[in-house]
Amino acid sequence: MSIRDFLAYKRSSDKHLSEYINNILGFYPRNVVLYQLAFTHKSVSDEKVGKYRLSNERLEYLGDAVLEIVVADYLFRKFPTEQEGFLTEMRSRIVSRASLNKLSQKLGFEDFIKHAPDTGGGFRSIGGNAFEALMGAIYLDRGFEFAKNIVINRIIKMHIDLDQLQQTDVNFKSKLLEWSQKHKKHTSFNLLNGNGANHQKLYVVQVVINDEEFGQASDYSIKGAEQLAAEKTWNMLLERGIVSAE
């Protein structure tokens, strides 16, 4: 899709998208082009602006960071007596690709995501990616505090059952190791470094499968870093169609 085609598409559906955003999140966009871009998959992007291909990938990167810090802060305050392992696990469950895919389906994203026909099942995470991109668009359009309010009051409190989530056993490291064993893959969690002293030490872990590097993550515990790296790896395998979302 060329820039001209994208702008024409944007103008024709501005009102429809603005009404949709207001219906699901309770506000009207100021800069609606950000939200159009959040729903534009790379499969329909042929034009580049500099080195950047016109799609939602950059917004997805930004939205992922917004979600991580907002959810971490919310859980920290919500569960003042829980250990960091519990908080890390709960955060992973809320922002996992499977969780965001389900949220996007519940909110009706499929009617707004613009993408090429998927003939090979390669768009398994298209909804979750768009969800992160939407959070990035809100952050750029309205600022961090506004985005934080949306995530907490319009997403977590309205669509996520924390009590039920606590009872759900989602251990990405275990899932990854079970999959590796079943398919005869050699999977290791390599500790790259640990910066800092004592309780302030930040550990960095890299998942390696059959000598190929996958997800890398950091946390203030090795267990937490392994879980986050395993989740990133699982999402990468999901994107490639190697594992299923179930």
Which residues belong to the active site? Answer: 64, 132
Closest CA to 38 of 109, 92, 143, 97: 109
String of DSSP letters for 77-115: HH-TTS-HHHHHHHHHHHHSHHHHHHHHHHTTGGGT-B-
- DSSP assignment letter at 210: T
Find out whether 234 and 218 touch, Cβ atoms under 8 Å.
no
Find out whether 128 and 160 touch, Cβ atoms under 8 Å.
no
The tokens of 164 are what? 């039920």
